[in-house]
Amino acid sequence: MGTVLVAIGAEAAVRGTARFALATGIPAFVLGALLFGVDFEGTAGSLIAAGRGQTSVAAGEAFGTIIFLFSAAFGAALVVARRPVPSPSPLMVISPSLTVVASALVLEDRFVSRPEGAFLILVYAGYVTIVIAEQRAVQRRAARLEEEARDVGGGTGRAAVVAVMGLAALFGGAWLLRAGGIRILTRTGLEAGFVGAAIVASLASLDEVLLEVLPIRRGRPELATGNLFGTLAAFTSFVPGLAALIRPLQLDGAAAVAFLAAAGLYAIVAVVFLLRERAWRVAGFVVLACYAAWLVYAASL
């Protein structure tokens, strides 16, 4: 139930917010920069978990979103792709390493304080500045938001209602997902970080499979790769940073391993793109195998 509400709510929230913003004169490019890489589903879940004191679940969900996107979603997209997926620009491939390294430095002691959370948000702002300078990724995101805004129709009033109802459903669904995850946690021997990364994050990110597969199958791989690297940057810096501002994050072993797995998957995909300038089925099977290996290892912690 939480997964369904999250999916419906996020879709309505994005469409309503985009329509409202454009109707009130905010340029699409600015909106694209503000929402670049920010996944409403995973963000809502992490913030609610942090607010309820389940900080390992919050961190695990943030890093689990990256793992699911880079392995299950992107791996499946590569396997079913009709042709090799071309690499985005080297700048777009390399720039997320800024947020990954910053997050690694902050997580060295498995604790994220409020000042460290603010630092991660500043690092993400620096990453967005780089993306804006490159422009193409933000322009694609802006064009996609404009398409979604047109689907809402009507004036600012209707757009605001759709956005508010969508946000309500989104946070209601995220609350149910977190509640279900906590029940699993209390009835099993699994660590909180694993429940957040492998269960809550995967359920919240199921729509990412379509967001990766469909653009690649339809000959628009730049949308898939832009979503891939933008989400990586947001969920290694902005999302955990925002969660830490709500409540300082204390990570357990599974959450720490989830971060290492996310960084490792990024390294694999980035190296393939930088060396071969494309990725296809072999890379897809490799990241899917890495996902399976991570699940087996993390569940045993």
Report pLDDT digits (tens) over 125-159. Answer: 999 999 998 888 888 889 888 888 888 877 889 99
Beta bridge partners of 250: 111
User: What pLDDT shows up at residue 28?
Assistant: 84
d(CA 277, CA 279): 7
CA distance from start to end of the chain: 28
User: What pLDDT shows up at residue 184?
Assistant: 92
User: What pLDDT shows up at residue 295?
Assistant: 95
Check pLDDT > 90 for residue 169: yes
Query: Which pTM does this prediction carry?
Result: 0.93
Return the SS3 of 268. Answer: helix
Return the SS3 of 246. Answer: helix
| Residue 41 structure tokens | 């589903």
> What are the two backbone dihedrals, phi and then psi, of residue 249, each rounded to the nearest 5 degrees?
-90, 130
Kindly report the average pLDDT of the chain as a whole number: 93
User: What pLDDT shows up at residue 137?
Assistant: 86
Check pLDDT > 80 for residue 54: yes
Total domain count, the chain: 1
d(CA 139, CA 145): 10
User: What pLDDT shows up at residue 83?
Assistant: 95
Q: What is the CATH number of the domain that holds 117?
A: 1.20.1420.30
- As a whole number, mean pLDDT of residues 115-130 equals 96
User: What pLDDT shows up at residue 134?
Assistant: 85
> What range defines the domain where residue 178 resides?
2-299
How many CB atoms within 10 Å of residue 100? 21
Check pLDDT > 90 for residue 255: yes
More confident residue, 68 or 222: 68
d(CA 60, CA 197): 4
- As a whole number, mean pLDDT of residues 36-55 equals 91
d(CA 174, CA 60): 14
Check pLDDT > 80 for residue 207: yes
Beta bridge partners of 111: 250
